């Protein structure tokens, strides 16, 4: 999957979590996934706890965080 395809998984919907970036229209924020990873959860554990997530969703969160920290402007899909 390309970086553009990964970032396409991230959306902004003002009706969900006040417009925070979320994954694929689901009610799970990018920051939540990143927080779990930062707390030491493995991607495998996250995928077990949130069966609706896919490995590419976690990769998309990491790429989003990297690009954000690198100062790049990221254009999330608007819904």
Domains with residue ranges and CATH for the chain = 3-70 (1.10.10.10)
Looking up tokens 């959306």 gives 11
3 state SS of 22: strand
Cβ neighbours around 12 below 10 Å, total: 17
| Separation between Cα atoms, residue 63 and residue 68, nearest integer Å | 8
pLDDT greater at residue 37 or residue 74: 37
* Rounded percentage of the chain residues whose pLDDT exceeds 70: 90
| Separation between Cα atoms, residue 45 and residue 64, nearest integer Å | 20
Dig out the tokens for 18 from the structure. Answer: 């006040």
| Separation between Cα atoms, residue 40 and residue 43, nearest integer Å | 9
Q: Which pLDDT band holds residue 71 (cuts at 50, 70, 90)? A: confident
pTM over 0.85: yes
Q: Is residue 6 predicted with pLDDT exceeding 70?
A: yes
Q: Which pLDDT band holds residue 76 (cuts at 50, 70, 90)? A: low
pLDDT greater at residue 39 or residue 25: 39
């Amino acid at each position: 999957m390309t970086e553009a395809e990964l970032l396409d998984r991230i959306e902004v919907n003002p009706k969900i979590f006040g417009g925070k970036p979320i994954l694929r229209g689901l009610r799970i924020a990018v920051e939540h996934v990143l927080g779990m990873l930062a707390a030491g959860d493995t991607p495998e554990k996250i995928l077990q706890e949130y069966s609706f997530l896919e490995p590419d969703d976690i990769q998309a969160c990491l790429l989003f965080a990297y690009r954000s920290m690198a100062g790049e402007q990221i254009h999330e899909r608007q819904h």
